[in-house]
Amino acid sequence: MSAGTTEETITIRGRAYQRRATLAVNGDTLTWRAQRGLQPIAENIATTTTDVRDVTWLEKRWSTGGAVLAALAALWLATGEVVAGSIGLAIAIAVIVWRKRRPRYWLGLDLGTRWLVLRVDPEHAAAARTLAARIEHLRLTGEVPSTPPALP
């Protein structure tokens, strides 16, 4: 970042350790804020995109439970349980369509000594997907910033 220019901070929100968590992205600087443990312990980690060893972006658009229920409903229909099979099939289709329309998203960052895993809120999925693609590009090309980013 050169003098006189400012970069906008993008905050990716989601859940980590079953609690609210954020990942703030400002240029190449990443700031992770979460709470872990039974007695919540603040976890504040600052790093850079070039320090991330690996990145994983997952979009779960398929319902395994819905598929199992559909198979069970088909079995019921095959054995003559028409009412139970029809109801089960209708529920299975509804669950599969619901998951297809409302996928779950995960972003995982490997820092070497630990993984930061965030279940990303749907409204922040595009920013998280872009960050994952950018980190993957940096890993594949070996690009490094001309000046190292300052950590907070």
pLDDT in tens, 99-143: 999 999 999 999 998 999 999 999 999 999 999 999 999 988 887
Instruction: Give the sign of the dihedral formed by CA 136, CA 45, CA 146, CA 9.
Output: positive
Q: Which residue has the higher pLDDT, 2 or 38?
A: 38
Mean pLDDT of the chain: 90
Two tokens at 77?
């229909």
pLDDT over 70 (residue 147): no
Beta carbons within 10 angstroms of residue 106's beta carbon = 16
pLDDT score, position 5: 45
pLDDT over 50 (residue 151): yes
Q: Which amino acid is at 27?
A: G
pLDDT over 70 (residue 9): yes
pLDDT over 60 (residue 86): yes
Domains and CATH numbers, the chain: 10-60+103-141 (2.30.29.30), 64-101 (no CATH)
Strand partners, 41: 36
pLDDT over 60 (residue 1): no
